[in-house]
Chains A and B, each alone.
Chain A
């Protein structure tokens, strides 16, 4: 079946640096991908909808300059956490849609020191 991968699975960085997370749809083309954030023992909060070839649509309260999303191809969306701070530490999950099915990546654990 369809698979969505994320890279890296885990990243530790210093405060003030930027981190890029990749989300790939492995055997289908996804014009729309989604980025979620999950705090420990909490639910998934939708951050933004990533549209291939156009600007991402951010949910209310999400800083678009802080969380840069690029969807340059039909199989790849990237989330860059710019000038990361400890409060950005979280579990980031991407999702890709293939017609009437949504597939979720395994997630990326970001720890900012």
Chain B
């Protein structure tokens, strides 16, 4: 069964500093991989996704993520965070081999920005 782990519950970084949010997945092959962001009281917004091809994926808002098969990881990065990046971030996996292709979410990482 597919699963995804986000080991960091809460991270605080200073505005302008770099950011890396960790994500590890468990799946028998290469799954579909996603990063979503959810601001308080808001819906989910897709930051980026990986299906195949180039392992470094560029997303919106200056985010990128790198798929590393050997580490079963898909960490999210941003070189310089802005106060507006404070939100909850979810890594998610989906199965490319199922017609239903449900998406399973990690537990989330709450990002706080220090002025």
A93 and B106 CA atoms in complex are apart in Å by 16
Q: Does A102 lie within 8 Å of B108, measured CB to CB?
A: no
Main secondary structure of the interface of B (DSSP, over half): strand
Chain B residues 12 to 50 lying within 8 A of chain A, measured CB to CB, are 32, 34, 36, 43-44
What size tier do the contact residues of chain B reach?
A: 20 to 34
Taking the nearest CB of chain B, how far is it from the CB of A101, in angstroms?
9
A106 and B101 CA atoms in complex are apart in Å by 21
A105 and B43 CA atoms in complex are apart in Å by 7
B67 at the interface (CB under 8 A from A): no
Chain A residues whose C-beta falls within 8 Å of the C-beta of B106 in the assembled complex = 43
A100 and B51 CA atoms in complex are apart in Å by 9
Q: Does B44 lie within 8 Å of A43, measured CB to CB?
A: no
Q: Does B43 lie within 8 Å of A42, measured CB to CB?
A: no
Chain A residues whose C-beta falls within 8 Å of the C-beta of B88 in the assembled complex = 41
Known contacts A42-B108, A43-B108, A107-B43, A32 near B101 by CB under 8 Å: yes
CB within 8 Å of B: which residues of A? 32, 34, 36, 41-46, 49, 51, 57, 93, 95, 97, 100, 102, 104-107
8 chain-A/chain-B pairs, Cβ below 8 angstroms: A34-B102, A34-B103, A42-B107, A43-B90, A44-B90, A45-B105, A102-B101, A104-B43
